Chain A
Amino acid sequence: MSTRIPAPDRTRALERRDHPALRVAALVALLVLWELLTRTGRIPALFLPSPLGVINAGVEMARSGELATHVATSLRRIALGFGLGALGGVSVGLVTGFWSVAEAVGNPLIAATFPIPKIALLPLLILWLGIGEASKVAVIMLGVFFPMAINTHTGVRTADPLLIRAAASFGAGRVSLVRKVLLPSALPMIFAGLKLGAGTALLLLVAAEMIAANAGIGFLILHAQNLMETTKLMVGIVLLSLLGVASHWLLVRLERAALPWKTP
């Protein structure tokens, strides 16, 4: 009846395949190349420490407990600053998104203060809050607060009006409207804000720890730079990179748990 006509799939070239082995190989190749380059002795280790040297230094610092102190100190600052900033940002975003009065008051204030680079506020925060923990946590908090507040506000404002009306006509009160409609529909934006905030938090952590600190990853980096210990400096940079990857992974996990309807 009908004959099959062979039709070549001309979109095959556009197919995106995963190459997990290639991904790992590229990273390993880069490291091997780097190690070989430093082994030739053409570049002094002072300018470019070898990967093995960095790993050795890291292991040694881990053994002496130095690494644990720095990481623990930094994690505590991040957890406090990020937690407080995110909590404040979400609350403010919800309130300004829900009440027009709060929006009228809050939005101009946020618009005026948001663009200030938080690093520029650091010297001021030190004068107000001292050179201890408070100023360091505060600067991270400020950095996280703004993306959270703005994202949450946008999330609430862009909630589907149809859903809101449907909930209202089914007799939902204010509280359950917020809890069951507005908050869930703002969640994707909130998580986008959290991911943005995590990057900002790392940046500000390093900046804050470069002034008047005695421990922390930022301190480790600056200290190594002051003493021209490039290998230790690299250990600090690798730590930051790991911390960034870890926080992103954690947030993606959290997002999947909180937004089951969005997960494929």
Chain B
Amino acid sequence: MPRRLAALLVAVLVWGGVSEAPAQGQKVKLGVLRLTSSAVLFVGAEKGYFKEFGIEPEFVFFEAAQPIAVAIASGDLEVGATGLTAGLYNIVAGGVPIWIVADKGREWPDHNLTALVVRKDLYDAGVRTLRDLKGKKIGVTQIGSTFHYNVGRLLEKEGMAPGEVELVPLQSLGAVADALTAKRLDAVATAEPFVSRLETSGVGVTLIRTGDSLPWQIAVMLYADRFARDRARAVAFMKGYVKASRHYFDSVVKRRAGPEYDEIVAITATYTGARPELIRRGFPYQDRDGRLMPGDIGRQTAWWFAQGLVKAPIPDRDIVDESFLREALKGMP
């Protein structure tokens, strides 16, 4: 009996040792939203950009931004592609490190991503600016969400106080759109494809396309702390990401047409199940080399802290780490 046990133990150890050995195509657990804004990662996987550097991304799909940040913090994910919320900043302020490592989408002029949509009858009655929405109800997904940030910063730019409109959190983009349709709200901060849907169904009119008046770093690539310590893999992943990002930028952001553009639309359609015409409307802007908007993370944490929704101010060195990106770019033309 003991001998058999020993044999079993040896077998387990050997087997364990073998599986530990570095193999071609290391798996990386990657959390993404099933949305057009994740297109660059789908492209990286389908065109083999990650595989080129020995990385095999294993997609885990999420319905909302916040759970991705939580899964990164708990160590269930190694890499995440998601929006920047007050909740994410509070995780870091609470002492659990998460690293913002690259650009994954910005609010940018002339690009559809999110918008402030006002009810059609109010628009027809003369509501044209944010100032006209004073005292009105604006629907957002959650307090602390990217949509909350959009509304808050837009108000600030207009010289208005946060309390001059009433934010109504409805938890999901679907519920936000339904509430506007049922005339329970006066305006909503929402994203594609809901913006298009509300407009084509005659429910609402876009008052402000966020990117046109407030460019900001809305989405990023995140590394879990343990993955960041695994330097070789972390840099290898970044090399694949930069290649995918450049391909995305050249065909989607710059050329906006052509066979490569159509291929990206098709790839995104297979991953998201969305209709191609909706996908074409919703490609966000992002930097060609994956660089973050300089200083924007600090601007965001300072704003959330000023609103009392992030516990402590977070210095950039505790949350931003572009060294992986710099190292990856070094070897690239």
Contact = CB atoms under 8 A, between A and B. Distances in A.
A226 B94 contact: no
Contact of B91 (A46, A126, A211, A223): A46
Contact of A227 (B96, B170, B185, B309): B309
Nearest to B176: A212
B178 A123 contact: yes
A227 B171 contact: no
Contact of A44 (B95, B143, B144): B95
A211 B309 contact: no
Contacts of A46: 73, 91, 94-96
Contact of A131 (B91, B143, B168, B309): B168
A203 B172 CA distance: 21
Interface in B38-67: 66
Interface residues of B, number: 32
A226 B144 contact: yes
A140 interface: no
Contacts of A211: 170-171, 175
Interface in A211-240: 211-214, 222-223, 226-230
A197 to B, nearest CB: 26
Contacts of B66: 226, 228
A226 B145 contact: yes
Contacts of B266: none
B210 interface: no
Interface in A43-61: 44-47
A210 interface: yes
A213 B175 CA distance: 13
A130 interface: yes
Nearest to B170: A212
B70 interface: yes
A127 B168 CA distance: 15
B169 A212 contact: yes
B90 A227 contact: yes
Interface in B177-222: 178-179, 182, 184-185
A229 B91 CA distance: 8
Interface string A84-96: 0000000000000
Contacts of A222: 169, 171
A130 B74 CA distance: 38
Contacts of A123: 175, 178
Contacts of A44: 94-96
B164 to A, nearest CB: 15
B142 interface: yes
Contacts of A214: 166, 168
A238 B184 CA distance: 33
Given A123-B178, A127-B178, A47 B74 contact: yes
Contacts of B182: 126-127
A227 B310 CA distance: 8
A147 to B, nearest CB: 28
Contacts of B311: 229
Given A126-B179, A211-B175, A228-B90, 6 more contacts: A47-B74, A131-B168, A131-B170, A210-B171, A223-B169, A229-B311
12 contacts: A46-B96, A47-B74, A123-B175, A126-B179, A130-B184, A211-B175, A212-B170, A214-B166, A214-B168, A227-B90, A227-B143, A228-B91
Nearest 8 interchain pairs by C-beta: A46-B94, A228-B87, A228-B90, A226-B142, A227-B144, A127-B182, A226-B144, A131-B184
